[in-house]
Every structure is written in C-alpha cells, then in structure tokens.
Chain A
C-alpha cells in the first residue's frame, strides 16, 4: 500500500512538467558585399604593352558581388585608366578595358550582360536578382608609339561600387 502511494505521488509530480516557447528571431537585411575573387596579373607580350588577356600571359581580375535582396542595388565597375604607382613614364598611355559577367548563381542573371550600360571606363549593371555574380575585368595599356615600358613595379586600381537603388 505504501509503495503504491509513493509511486502515485511521484507520478503526480512527474506529470506536472513546464514548457515554454523560446523564439528564434531573425532579420534579413538588404546588403551588398564586394569580394575580390581572382587577383589580376599583367602580362607583357610586347615591350610596349601590358595586358590581362590570358593569351598574352595575363590574368583578368574577377570581382564578386553578393546581393541579399533582389533589385535593391546596382553595380558599377570601372577598369583602370591610370597607374597609381609606376616608374617614371614620359609618354602617353593608351588604356583599354572591359567588364563582363563571368559566372552567376542564378540563371536569370544571364541577362545582365545584354542590359548593361557602359560610359567612359565604367560599366553599370542592374542587380535585379538576389545571389552572387562574378564580373571579369580586363585591362590593357600601351605605352607611346612602340615604346618599351621601363623596368619596375606597375600598379593600377579597379573601382567596384555597389549603389542602392
């Protein structure tokens, strides 16, 4: 009898369990992140030319844009039009460049290249879809008229902008 009562009392206490709702709160914030995916390298196919073209020993730079919210940003990428540091140069430099879509995380982004806007050395893309887009940036520079680049260190800058719409 005592054993039965002890078991019954224990069962009463065990059955009175407490439960509580513990929420997990999250907030998705629209943001844009720019990442340098591949370092660019200038090749020197001829003494008067530095270029990132693969066929000429160069490597084009690749910049990745990650956008969390669709249609919230536009990307503006400018290829170099001057050296930020170089040996002394006493002749003109002829700059060329291009920006193209290299890879996309969403197949709908394949329209970016056809809808892009180009002005001066800048290319503007409307980032209509959320996800990641890889942009390839090429750069070529010629020195004077068949003039050889002097030996030394050459450095140029790519400007990558992400502007909220």
Chain B
C-alpha cells in the first residue's frame, strides 16, 4: 500500500512583531510648502521579517497618497532584527485632514521555507486639530 505523506505546515512563526509608535500622532506642516509630515518610530523585534510596508489610510481604510524618508517611490522600510528606525511620513497638505491611520505591515518573503505566517499590522491614529 502506498502512502502519500502530507507535510504538516506551520501556520505561524515564532517571532515577535514590530513596534510602531506613537499610537496617536499629529500631522504638522513641513518645511516644504504644501506638505504635512509626521515622525514615527519603528522597532523591528522580529527575527524572521526585515521588510515592512508603510500605509496611510482615511477613516474607511481607503489608501491616501504619501511618501516616506527622502521622497523615495518605495513605501517599504528595511530594518534588521532589533533595529530602531525613525520614519518621516509626508502627505500632501490637501489630504492632511483626511488622514486617519498611519500603519506598518510586515512583508513575508516567499522564499523562506520556515517563514513566519503571521502577518502583523500596527496602525497609529492621526489626531486632527
């Protein structure tokens, strides 16, 4: 009798998630006209994930245009295990009143055989004046 063995797959990984603070943040005018900005602190406490996607949403989780760091087209942060990063998020001033959530979401690489299978997302809320 031939038996086919199914590999039992781990659903979840074994690492902690990242930290994204402050929990409540205020958008302030940037030194560049027409741009508002917020400074966030990021800490990667996961040893299996190094890439995180920054996302900006309105109250209904509709995406809003934004940029991070030096105005790069990429919205992805790269941080090694136990690395702190300060992330500046820039949004157009005409969108500033719509912004409600600034989030980071873990990005799991496909190639990892034993990849953690918990995708974590932490959102901070924007306090509008």
Contact = CB atoms under 8 A, between A and B. Distances in A.
Interface of A: 29-36, 38-44, 50, 52, 61, 63, 69, 72-73, 80, 84-85, 137, 139, 148-165
A160 B11 contact: no
Contact of A42 (B11, B23, B103): B11
Interface in B111-129: 115-125
A155 B9 contact: yes
Contacts of B108: 157
Interface string B1-45: 000111111111111110111111000000000000000000001
25 contacts: A29-B21, A30-B21, A31-B22, A31-B23, A32-B23, A32-B122, A33-B17, A33-B19, A39-B12, A41-B10, A41-B11, A42-B8, A63-B118, A148-B4, A154-B7, A155-B10, A155-B117, A156-B9, A156-B117, A159-B119, A161-B121, A162-B121, A163-B101, A164-B125, A165-B125
B17 A35 contact: yes
Contacts of B7: 151-154
Nearest to A30: B23
B113 to A, nearest CB: 8
B110 interface: yes
Contacts of A153: 7, 9
A162 B122 contact: yes
B10 A35 contact: no
Given A41-B9, A148-B4, A151-B7, 11 more contacts: A32-B122, A33-B45, A34-B118, A36-B12, A36-B116, A52-B11, A153-B7, A155-B10, A156-B9, A158-B11, A162-B122
Contacts of B124: 164
Nearest to A78: B119
